[in-house]
């Protein structure tokens, strides 16, 4: 239902089939300092470009200078292409895509990670 936007510090964007529900209206209404794009699966890859374009369109409607950080948790050709093709637009809108080559080692496993502080 219509209503005022909701402001949060961190929002996880849904993965799998639920990723299809994230559109321009979602980003107009859920205004976050950081959006985490998780879910490295073939279903997410199929809707990733539409989700990222929706972020640009929704953020354009905010009308404020709030800086937004996008945090992908997986490597993706679609993400790389979108980043390159829309980099100027991202800068205009105050969107930063956080990339990380950091690795965390815990017990017997290692995995990519990044640290987000508020």
pLDDT tens profile 65-107: 899 999 988 778 888 899 999 999 999 999 999 876 667 788 8
For residue 10, pLDDT over 80 is answered with: yes
Q: Which residue has 């956080």 as its token pair? A: 98
* 117 part of a folded domain: no
Reported as a single tens digit per residue, the pLDDT across 20-51 is 788 999 999 999 999 998 766 665 667 888 99
Residue 26, in any domain of the structure: yes
Q: How many domains does the chain have?
A: 1
φ, ψ of residue 2 in degrees (nearest 5): -60, 155
Domain region containing 11? 6-112
Instruction: Identify whether the C-beta of residue 112 lies closer than 8 Å to the C-beta of residue 69.
Output: no
Which residue, 51, 52, 72, 59, is CA-closest to 30?
Answer: 59
Judged by phi (left if over 0) then psi (alpha if -120 to 50, else beta), residue 35 lies in beta
Distance CA 112, CA 110 (A): 7
């Amino acid at each position: 239902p219509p209503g005022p936007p909701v402001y949060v510090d961190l929002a996880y964007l849904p993965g799998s089939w639920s990723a299809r529900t994230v559109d321009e209206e979602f980003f107009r209404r859920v205004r976050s300092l950081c959006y985490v794009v998780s879910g490295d699966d073939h279903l997410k890859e199929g809707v990733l470009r539409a989700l990222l374009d929706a972020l640009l369109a929704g953020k354009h409607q905010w009308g404020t200078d709030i800086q937004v950080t996008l945090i992908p948790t997986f490597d993706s050709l679609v993400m790389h292409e979108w980043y390159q093709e829309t980099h100027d637009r991202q800068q205009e809108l105050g969107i930063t895509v956080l990339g990380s080559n950091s690795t965390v080692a815990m017990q017997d496993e290692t995995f990519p990670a990044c640290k987000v502080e508020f």
